[in-house]
Amino acid sequence: MAATFQSARVTAPAKPARAGIGEVVSVTESFAFLATVHNTINNIFEMVKVPKGAVILDVILASTDLETGGPTGSLAVGDGTTADRFIGTNTLIQAGGLARMDKPGGMGYEYPAEDTIDIKLIAAATTPADGTLYLTVLYAMQK
């Protein structure tokens, strides 16, 4: 059954990083992916908190090789409302690598309330491996 996991940055009691109007904030977080625990279809990894009013400028996903066999695993990056708001379904975890925001609706999206930017496991790996997921979010405060 799918579950939601939170990075240390999300579970910490601190508020999301916030800058002055027009200043850019860059937040990077990592998550230790354990093959025997986290490899379930539709699992959600809440990675980075964003404050109300944050305007997204870019989202960058990186991963180590989380699949040792047949290419089946895939990820997307979105939020609590839209699972692929920023990065559509991709096969990055099959060999490791990097993906940038590829959804036009994500660029400039302004958050009406505090939320998290999440990685969703769209398809589980057939032969999963332990590794690390990384997510970098760049945003600005416009108000």
Give me the pLDDT at residue 17, please: 66
C-beta of residue 74 within 8 angstroms of C-beta of residue 89: yes
C-beta of residue 70 within 8 angstroms of C-beta of residue 88: no
Give me the pLDDT at residue 108, please: 96
Give me the pLDDT at residue 7, please: 94
Q: Measuring CA to CA, which residue among 51, 25, 12, 31 is closest to residue 120?
A: 31
The pTM of the full predicted model, rounded to 2 decimals, is 0.93
> What is the distance between the alpha carbons of residues 76 and 93, in angstroms, rounded to a whole number?
11
Structural domains in the chain, sorted by start = 4-141 (2.60.120)
> What is the distance between the alpha carbons of residues 51 and 110, in angstroms, rounded to a whole number?
10
Which residues partner with 120 through β-bridges? 44, 76
pLDDT digits (tens, 9 = 90+) for 80-129: 999 999 999 999 899 999 999 999 999 999 999 999 999 999 999 999 99
Collapsing DSSP to helix, strand or coil, 69 comes out as coil
Give me the pLDDT at residue 16, please: 64
pLDDT digits (tens, 9 = 90+) for 14-61: 666 667 777 899 999 999 999 999 999 999 999 999 999 999 999 999
